[in-house]
């Protein structure tokens, strides 16, 4: 299964909001995730928070609703940025949305007290050097004493429970079919999205790299992070279903000394 190395540049559009709605459009799940982020990072209302690879900023929207200093959302998808701006505007929430490459955000160093990379938004590059560049950028952007939180797929759970084929109904009209294969620490998937009324919507390939505890610890320490903490096999959805790579997750935190 050969994927386009730049698949992430075009995958996160209106179709993605359908195929992954049961996670990324589940407001109850978002609130649960933000509850955990607040607890783990011990956030303060005046913290300068960067939501890196943040999609339409669902976590930042929730943080803004809770009265935090206006967060900054960085994402490459123009569709996600526009969608997030629309929601924030309609809700009267102050959030800064930026369409940028997470490997080089073009923001001032030491600008944030917390950087979040939520919902398995890390590991999209087959070339590991590009994944490391995102973590190096997070380190550069954090102020001294600032904290990073990585929300990753739990690799051990996935290896035990990976279903090579899965499908679910996104709504009454749309069906999502996925075929997955795992080679080493790289999972590749073919996603076919079909509408009962309109026919084929998408037939595309994507990939994500998995990180076991030892590997992510080595990478973060090599970059300069310290005070690492890992919480494994977090199952945050209320219903016990197969949510693919969002079923069981690992929250990894680290600090810039």
For residue 184, count other CB atoms closer than 10 A to its CB: 7
CA distance 21 to 19: 6
| Domain ranges across the chain | 7-154+211-255
- Quick one: pLDDT band at residue 244, thresholds 50, 70, 90? confident
Burial class (CB in 10 A: 0-12, 13-18, 19+), 241: exposed
92 in the Ramachandran plot: left (φ > 0), alpha (ψ -120 to 50) or beta?
left
Task: Classify 7-154+211-255 by CATH class.
Answer: alpha beta
What percentage of the chain carries pLDDT values higher than 90? 93
For residue 213, count other CB atoms closer than 10 A to its CB: 14
Q: What is the pLDDT of residues 96-125, one digit of tens each?
A: 999 999 999 999 999 999 999 999 999 999
- Quick one: pLDDT band at residue 172, thresholds 50, 70, 90? very high
* Residue 3: predicted pLDDT: 83
Task: Report how far apart the first and last C-alpha atoms of the chain are (Å, whole number).
Answer: 41
* Residue 240: predicted pLDDT: 82
CA distance 159 to 143: 36
- The pTM assigned to this predicted structure is 0.95
């Amino acid at each position: 299964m050969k994927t386009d190395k730049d698949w992430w540049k075009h995958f996160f559009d209106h179709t993605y909001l359908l195929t992954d709605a049961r996670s990324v459009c589940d407001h109850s799940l978002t609130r649960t995730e933000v509850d955990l982020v607040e607890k783990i990072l011990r956030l303060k209302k005046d913290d300068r928070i960067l939501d890196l690879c943040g999609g339409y900023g669902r976590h930042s929207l929730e943080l803004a609703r809770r009265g935090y200093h206006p967060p900054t959302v960085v994402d490459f998808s123009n569709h996600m940025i526009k969608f997030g701006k629309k929601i924030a505007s309609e809700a009267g929430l102050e959030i800064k949305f930026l369409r940028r490459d997470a490997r080089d955000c073009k923001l001032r160093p030491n600008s944030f007290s917390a950087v979040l990379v939520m919902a398995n938004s890390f590991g999209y590059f087959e070339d590991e050097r590009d994944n490391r560049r995102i973590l190096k950028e997070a380190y550069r952007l954090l102020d001294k004493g600032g904290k990073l939180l990585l929300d990753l797929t739990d690799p051990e759970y996935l290896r035990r429970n990976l279903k090579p084929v899965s499908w679910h109904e996104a709504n009454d009209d749309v069906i999502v079919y996925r075929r997955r294969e795992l080679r080493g620490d790289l999972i590749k998937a073919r996603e076919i999205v079909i509408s009962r009324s309109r026919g084929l919507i998408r037939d595309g390939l994507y990939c994500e790299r998995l990180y076991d505890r030892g590997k992510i610890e080595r990478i973060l320490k090599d970059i300069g992070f310290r005070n690492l903490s890992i919480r494994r096999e977090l199952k945050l959805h209320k219903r016990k279903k197969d949510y693919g790579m969002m079923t069981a997750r690992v929250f990894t935190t680290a600090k810039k000394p």
